[in-house]
Amino acid sequence: TERKPLTELSGEDLARLESDLAAEFEEISQIGLGLDLTRGKPSAAQLDLSERLLGLPEPGDHLAGKTDVRNYGGITGIAELRALMAEILGVRPDEVYACDNASLSVMYDLISFALLFGTEDSPRPWIEDTDRKWLCLVPGYDRHFAVTEKFGFEMIPVEMGPEGPDMDEVERLAADPAVKGLWAVPIYSNPTGLTLSDHVIERLAKMETGAPDFRVIWDNAYVVHTLAADFPKAANVLEAAANAGHPNRFWQVCSTSKITFAGAGVSFLSATESELAWYGKHAGVRTIGPNKVNQLAHVRFFETAEGLRQHMQLHREILVPKFEASRSALEARLGGYEVASWTDPEGGYFIDLSVGDGTATQIVEMAAKAGVALTPAGAAYPYGKDPNDRHIRLAPTMPPLDEVEKAIDVVGLCTLLCAVRKAQAV
Ligand code: PMP
């Protein structure tokens, strides 16, 4: 039978639907599924794509230019890998440092260095401004928000639209000198999958800010993580910012965490040469240099930027069926009832499920009872508080395909059951 929006169902229809779904929910809860859709991790099959890395560089292969990668030094990272990533990011090699295993550490460093020592544009260290604030595009990445929370920034959420945030709102907020910066994931954002438009990027580069040392942390974690045959073009934000007279505005980071091995890849910082020198000056006190052996391994593994892109197409072959299965499972459960909507991302690691206002927490709890672990509702918002309790982040990459199907089906079931009960209560 043709499905109708829940709002058009009679009390009797709702009651019948509720009892069917509740019975199914009970049955599934008895099984103890033990499925997990919480974190955006690569699956074992994806990790296997990089198995060859474990044998690289081969014995006897130690030189990056004249540098013996087995020895100390070289805070900038090795030239070959800087050049490779510069090509991916569309910047010059001297605008990139290759760092250690995690871009999150680089972001943490950047903010802690600015807090303790100030940037080259800072009148004083940020820590001296006790009422410091930070702009957070929402829904966004929980670990970003954890860093600015830890360092005592008041986080101000700005809702994402299809092309990015409302830039009038961002400009209005950034006029406050207490606002020191903004988190952004420009391509296939976590968790919305959205990509910032050129127009939004242009305005971020151009806008006047109250703080002379305002920084955008441009986290390009998903720059090559396409689910299509084409790759998105990374905007050259360094050039845009220089043209607008704010050369140091962007601190761009990315990593190979979801290209090779999560937690055992290479991260990168891209910024102006003077900003990189500032970073190196401070980072060089806390380390004598990054793991260049792993950097050379990555150079040998990819060989070229094109090699890296081809490798990402192998990831895509594994991921596309999981995203398709997720979409079909949501459609099969929820289609036609008009109780939820979900993103259909062209890249990245997540699906953002929007449910009825005030029900996300309850749905996550129900899913847990039915044996499916989800990211806590609200995680995509500063302080873990989604003001509308509406967003659920689904991470379909890690479990095997059949488990993804089952887990998403259960999420759909819980979403519908919750919506039916809410409709009955009206
Ligand atoms: N940024 C974003 C937007 C992410 O989604 C993730 C991983 N979930 C990271 C950074 C973490 O990257 P890394 O492993 O390089 O610290």
pLDDT per residue as tens digits for the range 244-263: 999 999 999 999 999 999 99
The full DSSP string for 128-168 is: G-TT-EEEEEES--HHHHHHHHHTTPEEEEEEEETTEE-HH
425 alpha carbon to ligand 1 midpoint, in Å? 41
Closest CA to 49 of 255, 310, 266: 310
- Nearest in space to 303 (alpha carbons), one of 26, 57, 46, 8: 57
Ligand 1 centroid distance, CA of 362 (Å):
27
Q: How far is the CA of 132 from the centre of ligand 1 (A)?
A: 24
User: Is 55's pLDDT higher than 70?
Assistant: yes
pLDDT at position 39 is: 86
CATH tag, 6-46+309-425: 3.90.1150.10
Q: What is the mean pLDDT of residues 324-337?
A: 98
CA 407 to chain centre: 22
Amino acid identity of 41? K
Which residue owns the Cα nearest ligand 1 atom 4?
221
Which of 79, 104, 83, 101 is CA-nearest to residue 92?
Answer: 83
For a ligand 1 pocket test, name from 38, 137, 141 the mutation site with the most ligand atoms within 8 angstroms of its C-beta. Answer: 141
Q: Which of 160, 182, 255, 268 to mutate to test the pocket of ligand 1 (most atoms within 8 A of CB)?
A: 255
Pocket lining for ligand 1, CB < 6 angstroms: 40, 102-104, 141, 185, 190, 219, 221, 255, 257, 267
Nearest-atom number in ligand 1 for the CA of 101 is 15
221 CA → ligand 1 middle, Å: 6
pLDDT in tens, 384-403: 999 999 999 999 999 999 99
- pLDDT over 80 (residue 74): yes
Quote the mean pLDDT of the chain.
Answer: 97
Stretch(es) of the chain classified as CATH 3.40.640.10: 64-303
CB distance 275 to 120 below 8 Å: yes
Ligand 1, atom 5, lies closest to the CA of 190
Q: What is the rounded distance in angstroms from the CA atom of residue 418 to the CA atom of residue 282?
A: 52
Task: Give the rounded percent of residues in the chain with a pLDDT score beyond 90.
Answer: 99
Mutate to test the pocket of ligand 1, among 104, 145, 183 (most ligand atoms within 8 A of CB): 104
- ipTM score: 0.99
User: For residue 1, is pLDDT > 90?
Assistant: no
- For 372, which DSSP code? E
Pinpoint the residues of the chain covered by CATH 3.90.1150.10.
6-46+309-425
| CATH 3.30.365.10 applies to domain 64-303 | no
Could you tell me the pLDDT band of residue 292, with boundaries at 50, 70 and 90?
very high
Q: 17: CA distance to ligand 1 center in Å?
A: 41
pTM, rounded to two decimals:
0.97
Task: Find the 102 Cα to ligand 1 centroid distance in Å.
Answer: 8
* Ligand 1 pocket: which of 142, 219, 251, 252 to mutate (most atoms within 8 A of CB): 219
Locate the ligand 1 atom nearest the alpha carbon of residue 106 and give its number.
16
Give the Cβ contact number of residue 161 at 10 Å.
13
The confidence band for 426, taking pLDDT boundaries of 50, 70 and 90, is: confident
Cα of 125 to ligand 1 centre, how many Å? 26
Please determine, for residue 326, whether its predicted confidence score (pLDDT) is greater than 80: yes
Is 202 exposed, middle or buried (CB count within 10 Å of its CB: 0-12, 13-18, 19+)? middle
Cβ atoms of 374 and 37 closer than 8 Å: yes
